[in-house]
Amino acid sequence: MTKKLSIGFIGTRGIPNEYGGYESAIQELAPRLVRKGHKVVVYSSSLQTYKENTWHGVDLDYNYDPEDKLGSFGQFVYDFKCNISAKQHKHDVIFHMGYTSDSIWHWLWDRNAMHITNMDGMEWMRSKYSLKVQKFLKKAEKWAANKSKLLIADSTGIMNYLTDNYSTPAVHIAYGVEIPGSFDKKYLSDYNLEPGGYDLLIARMVPENNIEMAIKAKIISLDDFPLVIFGNSNDYCSMLRKQYHSEKRIRFMDANYNKIALDSVRHFSRYYIHGHSVGGTNPSLLEAMAAGCRVIAHNNEFNSGVLGSGGEYFSTIENLIEIFNQDSFTAIKQSQIEMNISLLKKVYNWERISNEYVEAAYSIL
Note the pTM of the prediction, 2 decimals: 0.84
Instruction: Tell me if residue 175 falls in helix, strand or coil.
Output: coil
> Would you say 168 and 151 are in contact if contact means Cβ atoms under 8 Å apart?
yes
Domain of 294? 185-347
- The verdict on whether omega for the bond into residue 66 sits within 30 degrees of 0, i.e. cis, is no
> Would you say 206 and 238 are in contact if contact means Cβ atoms under 8 Å apart?
no
Domain count, the chain: 2
Which helix or strand (DSSP H or E) is residue 41 part of?
strand 39-45
Residues whose CB falls within 8 Å of the CB of residue 266, separated by 6 or more in sequence, listed in order: 200, 202, 272, 287, 288, 291, 293
CA distance 266 to 183: 9
Q: Judge if 115 and 252 occupy the same domain.
A: no
| Sheet of 58-63, strands arranged across | 54-55, 58-63, 39-45, 6-10, 93-97, 114-118, 150-153, 170-172
Instruction: Tell me if residue 13 falls in helix, strand or coil.
Output: coil
Q: Judge if 44 and 131 occupy the same domain.
A: yes
Angle formed at CA 338 by CA 174 and CA 153, multiple of 5 degrees: 10
Q: Judge if 86 and 201 occupy the same domain.
A: no
Residues whose CB falls within 8 Å of the CB of residue 220, separated by 6 or more in sequence, listed in order: 317, 321
Low-confidence ranges of the chain (pLDDT < 70): 1, 20, 121-128, 279-281
Amino acid identity of 260? I
Q: Judge if 50 and 147 occupy the same domain.
A: yes
pLDDT in tens, 170-200: 999 988 999 999 999 999 999 999 999 999 9
CA proximity to 225, closest of 199, 248, 252, 194? 199
Amino acid identity of 127? S
Q: Judge if 206 and 311 occupy the same domain.
A: yes
Q: Does residue 1 sit within a domain?
A: no
* Chain centroid offset of residue 122 CA: 13
CA distance 79 to 121: 19
Q: Does residue 275 sit within a domain?
A: yes
Q: Judge if 85 and 127 occupy the same domain.
A: yes
Q: Judge if 341 and 354 occupy the same domain.
A: no
